[in-house]
């Protein structure tokens, strides 16, 4: 069974309290929070004050996905805001090993996200230092995009790297996850499924989360 991480990006921002209440009642384990800076990605989402409020209202693990340049500058700030897992992009971190250690030193789990064009092999030498790898299955920046099929190959290749290293890194898939590809992703080796549109635009989000979880 996969860990489900509904993404706030697809929620009604005037009803964030309702989104938290719904999620608290659901089988989702994580709340996926996308932070965009308009530099690393061509979009701007929300930041620290929103996460701080979400933290107070949710009982779930706050899985914060930073799509920002120089994320190492904000590690302490996101810890203070309530992040449990802090994911940085490999493409934004020239000193990735150091950044991962800094995240862990703050008492958070350390995640690394990879853009669709970045091969999983770049993480070989640091795989044991990573708690979660977020494979982007769309180009980061927007919700509601079409799933990139090459993702399955990346999941299988990453699973092999993790197994060979004897690491316990979780594989998270982010972008275009639906009830139609969830089972195949889990079969390929995915542990965590992020779902924005699929959950928040569903007629019954709680039921959709339960469906994704058991597929
Ligand atoms: C995209 C974000 C995703 C996004 C996924 O840059 O990282 O987390 O919210 O949205 P869906 O599930 O709608 O593709
Ligand atoms: Zn994300």
Active site residue 34: yes
Question: By C-alpha distance, which of 9, 19, 121 is closest to 60?
Answer: 19
Per-residue model confidence as pLDDT tens digits over 40-95: 999 999 999 999 999 999 999 999 999 999 999 999 999 999 999 999 999 999 99
Residue 145 Cβ inside 6 Å of ligand 1? The answer reads: yes
Per-residue model confidence as pLDDT tens digits over 93-123: 999 999 999 999 999 999 999 999 999 999 9
Residue 205 Cβ inside 6 Å of ligand 1? The answer reads: no
Residue 11 Cβ inside 6 Å of ligand 1? The answer reads: no
Phi, psi of 137, deg, nearest 5: -105, 10
**Closest atom of ligand 1 relative to the 43 alpha carbon:** 6
Mutate to test the pocket of ligand 1, among 133, 143, 201, 212 (most ligand atoms within 8 A of CB): 143
In sequence order, what E strands does 8-73 have?
Answer: 30-36, 61-67
**Cα 104 to the center of its chain, rounded Å:** 17
**Closest atom of ligand 1 relative to the 199 alpha carbon:** 12
Per-residue model confidence as pLDDT tens digits over 132-172: 999 999 999 999 999 999 999 999 999 999 999 999 999 99
List, in order of start, the domains of the chain with CATH numbers: 3-214 (3.20.20.70)
What pLDDT is stored for residue 196 in this prediction? 98
Active site residue 125: no
What pLDDT is stored for residue 122 in this prediction? 98
**Closest atom of ligand 1 relative to the 36 alpha carbon:** 6
DSSP per-residue codes, 151-195: HHHHHHHHHHHHHHHT---EEEEESS--TTTHHHHHHHT--EEEE
The radius of gyration computed from the CA coordinates of the chain, to the nearest angstrom, equals 16
What pLDDT is stored for residue 167 in this prediction? 98
Residue 43 Cβ inside 6 Å of ligand 1? The answer reads: no
d(CA 139, CA 204): 27
What pLDDT is stored for residue 105 in this prediction? 98
d(CA 4, CA 195): 8
d(CA 127, CA 202): 35
pTM value is 0.98
d(CA 165, CA 146): 32
Q: Whose CA is nearest to atom 4 of ligand 1?
A: 143
């Amino acid at each position: 069974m996969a860990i489900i991480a509904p993404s706030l990006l697809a929620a009604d921002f005037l009803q964030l309290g309702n989104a938290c209440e719904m999620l608290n009642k659901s089988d989702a384990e994580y709340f996926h929070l996308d932070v965009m800076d308009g530099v690393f990605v061509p979009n701007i989402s929300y930041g620290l004050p929103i996460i701080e409020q979400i933290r107070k209202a949710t009982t779930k693990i706050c899985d914060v996905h930073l799509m920002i340049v120089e994320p190492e500058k904000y590690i302490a700030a996101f810890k203070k805001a309530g992040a449990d897992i802090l994911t940085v992009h490999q493409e934004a971190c020239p000193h990735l090993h150091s950044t991962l250690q800094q995240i862990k030193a703050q008492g958070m789990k350390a995640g690394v996200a990879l853009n669709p064009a970045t091969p999983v092999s770049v993480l070989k030498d640091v795989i044991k230092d990573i708690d979660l790898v977020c494979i982007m299955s769309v180009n980061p920046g927007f919700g509601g995009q079409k799933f990139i099929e090459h993702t399955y190959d990346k999941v299988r290749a990453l699973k092999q790297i993790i197994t060979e290293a004897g690491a316990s890194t979780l594989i998270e898939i982010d972008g275009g996850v639906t009830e139609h590809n969830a089972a195949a992703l889990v079969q390929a080796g995915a542990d965590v499924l992020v779902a924005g549109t699929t959950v928040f635009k569903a007629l019954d989000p709680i039921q959709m989360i339960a469906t994704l979880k058991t597929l």
